[in-house]
Chain A
Amino acid sequence: MRYRKWVILIVCLLLFGVWAYFVYDVNERFSNPENRIVEQGQTASYKGLTIAPGEVEILSYQEMVERYPDFDSTYDEMGEEAEETIHEMAHYHYILVHLSIENPTDEKISFGKESITLWPIEVGVQGNGMDPFMLMYFNPGYDGSFTAHEKMDMILPYTIYTEYLTLEEIKKEDIRVVYSYYRTKNYIFYEGGERE
Chain B
Amino acid sequence: MIRTGVRLELYRAFHNLAYYIALGLGCAIAVLHFVMQVLPKTKAIGVFMNIDYPYSVFNSCLALDLGGFHQSLFFYSVVLLGTLPFGMSYFTDLRDGYIKNIYTRMDRKGYLLGKYLAVFLTAGTVCIIPLILNMALTMAVLPCLIPQVGTSVFAVAGAGMFSQLFYSHPFLYVLVYLIIDFCMVGMFACLALSLTKVLYNRYIVLFAPFVLFFTLQTVMMYTGFNAAGPYYILNPTQPTWENVPTVLTEMILLFLVGFFTFYLMGGKKRDAI
Contact = CB atoms under 8 A, between A and B. Distances in A.
Interface of A: 19, 22-23, 26-27, 29-33, 113-114, 118-122, 124-129, 163-164, 176, 178-183, 185
A127 B144 CA distance: 21
A30 B54 contact: yes
B110 to A, nearest CB: 30
A163 B159 contact: yes
Nearest to A177: B150
B222 to A, nearest CB: 22
Interface in B153-174: 158-159, 163-164, 166-167
A125 B158 contact: yes
Nearest to B164: A125
15 contacts: A19-B136, A26-B141, A26-B142, A27-B143, A27-B144, A30-B45, A32-B145, A33-B145, A122-B149, A127-B149, A176-B150, A178-B51, A179-B51, A181-B150, A182-B50
B39 to A, nearest CB: 13
A30 B46 CA distance: 9
B51 A125 contact: no
B273 interface: no
Contacts of A121: 150
A114 B50 CA distance: 8
Contacts of B151: 120, 127, 181
A181 B52 contact: yes
Nearest to B45: A30
A118 to B, nearest CB: 5
A163 B241 CA distance: 12
Interface of B: 45-46, 48-54, 136, 139-146, 148-152, 158-159, 163-164, 166-167
Given A124-B158, A185-B148, A30 B51 contact: no
Given A125-B158, A182-B52, A29 B150 contact: no
A26 B50 contact: no
A127 B143 CA distance: 23
B143 A181 contact: no
Contacts of B148: 122, 178, 181, 185
Contacts of B52: 181-182
A170 to B, nearest CB: 12
Nearest to B137: A19
Given A22-B141, A26-B143, A127-B149, A164 B49 contact: no
B143 A119 contact: no
A193 B152 CA distance: 26
Contacts of A32: 145-146
Interface centre among B45, B48, B143 (most CB of A within 10 A): B143
Contact of B140 (A26, A31, A114, A178): A26
